[in-house]
């Protein structure tokens, strides 16, 4: 199976600008770029699939360049439903630096900033050198623009296509870029760049897209969808990533293995068989989580995620750190309570019981533990020594209900 056949088997090609590109992809030697705007200081899992395609291209003998849109990020790519909120120039700069450092660490790509060439273009030059190549009817026919016509689209958003085409032209002329790859929602912008280069220089360049990665309900993994899983472990811990991927729907796990891992076809097919015949083992899910976390954060963070998972399952928290507790329960509703309070007051304070009467019932029924230790004494005082690193206690009621308290 050659390189393109492998991409197709993994479901990683949706649109391709020319059949001639397939031979070039198999041969190697193309300089290509992938772009993202600095709307945050970290990439998320929604970006990861496209960036992993870039890594695949690099390993197949192509040269990658990452464009972080310090210029385009100041106006924003048109969204399908409504205008994107603009962010400040200071935040764009901060986000650019964060993304640059992250991509260089993870992928080793050369990083460029389109604001470096935008800043010297005045409006007259923009219209004469670029705008004259764009027919308005051509722009209106692009999917993302057409979808916004009923609700309205600003001239700023409408112009974004020209800016991205300008990027392709600049990188072609100054960096030897002949290929752009991106998610399928960028197809209109990619073809606009191909057309601009053909009309203005006569050169042939190429583009391809991959399908956007979604869950079983068709929802994208992204910040705008409200379900972002960040590649920065300080935003999304390895434990949270592990829990997400080990619990993805059985119907999606093999697709994700193809997209997000470099496991060979034979191993993925073996995991697919295991997923069908022994789904309770969740072997495919665990392999997915291991591959992603190890790539992003290393084996030590993967082992730590496993360790935290085991502690949670066994209800043992005494030997964990403050950071461990925050990684385990960072999204929980954390209550603040004072130390040296009676257990009944603590249960009411964290929401584990609605009243002291109910709290007595829970304690009397052996349903309460603090940091994994059963509490059976109604007069038990939760003192400072019980707070992990002087910060947190984990209150558990029954088998599944955890309540996290922070010492005031």
Residue 402 has pLDDT above 80, yes or no: yes
Q: Is residue 231 part of a domain?
A: no
Write down the pLDDT at residue 330. 75
Select from 173, 323, 182 the least CA-distant residue to 191. 182
Query: What is the spatial order of strands in the sheet that 368-370 belongs to?
Result: 335-337, 401-407, 392-397, 368-370, 373-374
Where among 264, 285, 314 does a domain terminate? 314
CATH assignment of the domain containing 360? 3.10.290.10
Q: Is 339 found in the same domain as 294?
A: no
Q: Tell me the percentage of the chain whose pLDDT exceeds 70.
A: 96
Q: Do 28 and 107 have their domain in common?
A: yes
Please work out, in degrees rounded to the nearest 5, the angle formed at the alpha carbon of residue 190 by the alpha carbons of 187 and 193: 150
Mean pLDDT of 390-398: 91
Which range of residues forms the domain containing residue 262?
238-314
Q: Please indicate, yes or no, whether residues 136 and 266 belong to a single structural domain of this protein.
A: no
CB 76 within 8 A of CB 86: yes
User: Are residues 377 and 280 both part of a single domain?
Assistant: no
Q: Is residue 219 part of a domain?
A: no
With a cut of 80, say whether residue 14 has pLDDT above it: yes
The pLDDT-based confidence of 408 (bands split at 50, 70, 90) is confident
Question: How many separate domains does the chain show?
Answer: 3
193 touches 168 (CB < 8 A): yes
* pLDDT tens digits, one per residue of 284-340: 999 999 999 999 999 999 999 999 999 988 888 888 888 998 888 876 778 888 888
| Residue pLDDT, tens place only, 350-364 | 899 999 999 999 999
Residue 345 token pair: 């007051």
| pLDDT number for residue 146 | 77
Among 69-73, 218-222, 381-385, the least confident range: 218-222
- Give the per-residue pLDDT at 226: 54
Structure tokens at 18: 């020319």
Give yes or no: residues 200 and 258 share one domain. Answer: no
- Residue 142 sits in the same domain as residue 30: yes
The answer to whether 63 and 144 are in contact (CB under 8 A) is no
For residues 271 and 176, membership in a common domain is answered with no
Comparing 8-17, 34-43, 85-94, 171-180, the range with the smallest average pLDDT is 85-94
CB within 8 Å of 74: residues ≥ 6 apart: 86, 87, 89, 92, 115
- CATH code (residue 135): 3.40.50.620
> What is the pTM (predicted TM-score) of this model?
0.86
Q: Are residues 114 and 184 in the same domain?
A: yes
Cα–Cα distance list, 132 to 74, 76, 124, 125 (Å): 23, 22, 11, 10
Q: Are residues 206 and 256 in the same domain?
A: no
The residue written with tokens 């209800």 in the block is: 315
Q: What is the pLDDT of residue 315?
A: 85
Residue 149 pLDDT grade (very low, low, confident, very high; cuts 50, 70, 90): confident
């Amino acid at each position: 199976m050659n390189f393109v056949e492998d991409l197709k088997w993994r479901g990683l090609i949706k649109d391709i600008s020319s059949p001639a590109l397939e031979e070039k992809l198999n041969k190697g030697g193309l300089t290509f770029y992938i772009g993202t705007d600095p709307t945050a200081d970290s990439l998320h899992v929604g970006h990861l699939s496209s960036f992993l395609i870039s890594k695949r291209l690099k390993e197949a003998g192509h040269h990658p360049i990452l464009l972080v849109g310090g210029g385009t990020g100041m106006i924003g790519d048109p969204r399908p439903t409504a205008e994107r909120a603009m962010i400040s120039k200071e935040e764009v700069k901060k986000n650019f630096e964060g993304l640059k450092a992250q991509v260089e660490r993870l992928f080793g790509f050369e990083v460029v900033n389109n604001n470096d060439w935008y800043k010297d273009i005045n409006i007259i030059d923009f219209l004469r050198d670029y705008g004259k190549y764009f027919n308005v009817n051509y722009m209106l026919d692009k999917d993302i623009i057409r979808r916004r016509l009923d609700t309205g689209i600003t001239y700023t958003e409408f112009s974004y296509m020209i800016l991205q085409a300008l990027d392709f032209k600049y990188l072609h002329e100054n960096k030897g870029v002949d290929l752009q790859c991106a998610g399928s929602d960028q197809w209109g912008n990619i073809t606009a760049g191909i057309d601009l280069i053909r009309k203005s220089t006569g050169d042939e360049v190429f583009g391809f897209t991959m399908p956007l990665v979604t869950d079983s309900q068709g929802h994208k993994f992204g910040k705008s969808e409200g379900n972002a899983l960040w590649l920065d472990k300080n935003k999304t811990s390895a434990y949270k990533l592990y829990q997400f991927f080990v619990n993805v729907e059985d119907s999606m796990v093999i697709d994700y293995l193809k997209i997000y891992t470099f496991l060979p076809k034979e191993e993925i097919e073996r995991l697919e068989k295991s997923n069908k015949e022994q789904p309770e083992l969740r072997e495919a899910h665990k392999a997915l989580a291991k591959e992603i976390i190890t790539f992003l954060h290393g084996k030590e963070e993967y082992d730590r995620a496993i360790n935290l998972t085991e502690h949670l399952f066994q209800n043992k928290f005494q030997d964990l750190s403050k950071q461990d507790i925050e990684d385990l329960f960072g999204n929980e509703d954390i209550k603040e309570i004072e130390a040296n309070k009676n257990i009944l007051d603590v249960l009411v304070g964290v929401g584990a019981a609605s009243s002291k009467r109910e709290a007595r019932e829970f304690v009397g029924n052996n349903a309460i533990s603090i940091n994994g230790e059963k509490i059976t004494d109604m007069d038990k005082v939760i003192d400072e020594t019980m707070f992990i690193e002087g910060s947190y206690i984990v209150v558990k009621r029954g088998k599944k209900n955890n309540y996290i308290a922070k010492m005031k």
